[in-house]
Structure 1
């Protein structure tokens, strides 16, 4: 299960809208504040630490603390594309 957790909070299910090697945007049920630390957990991977850059209308934009490996990024995109969950913009 894909989840998002803000520092000091409980993890909640989320939907990632965009994913790059430097960050992501995802659905956030509660307001998140610029600079807040959070963790994105994708199935089969360790939690990825990030920092909130923006929040608007229940969508949060975050920058990863460490860049995601391009190989890991490609594997994630490929896995979700096979499930029919990947959407190109």
Structure 2
């Protein structure tokens, strides 16, 4: 889902890295909970957006599992309805990020 209007401009201004549309099923685990499936809708080296029915709150720690990678630690930055924006604890290594983006583009 793309954001539209003035809010999109404000959101882009505060991003640390360019985001790519990347709709893929991943697993997400909150501290002390089992992993659940959810949809990642965009990805950057520093973060991502989720579409989820899981209850998330800003500053909550998560562990996500991307295809072909070990679990990565992230923090919830914002929550709006059934979407959440999250930041990786450590940015993705640039070649890994580009590989993920290329893989997603070739699977469309």
The normalised TM-score by structure 1 is: 0.87
Q: Does 1:62 align with 2:83?
A: no
Offset of residue 15 of structure 1: 1.1
From the two aligned structures, give the one with the greater helix fraction.
Answer: 2
Q: Indicate which of 44, 51, 61 corresponds to 1:37.
A: 61
Worse-matched range after superposition: 2-11 or 37-46: 2-11
Offset of residue 49 of structure 1: 0.5
Distance 2:94 2:67 in 1: 17
Q: Indicate which of 82, 90, 96 corresponds to 1:72.
A: 96
Distance 1:7 1:62 in 2: 15
RMSD, aligned α-carbons: 1.1
| Residues matched between the structures, number | 84
Q: Is the 8 A contact 1:31 1:55 kept in 2?
A: no
Distance 1:46 1:34 in 2: 23
In our comparison, the structure showing a higher alpha carbon Rg is 2
SS at 1:35 equivalent:
coil
Higher relative contact order (CA 8 A, sep 6+): 1
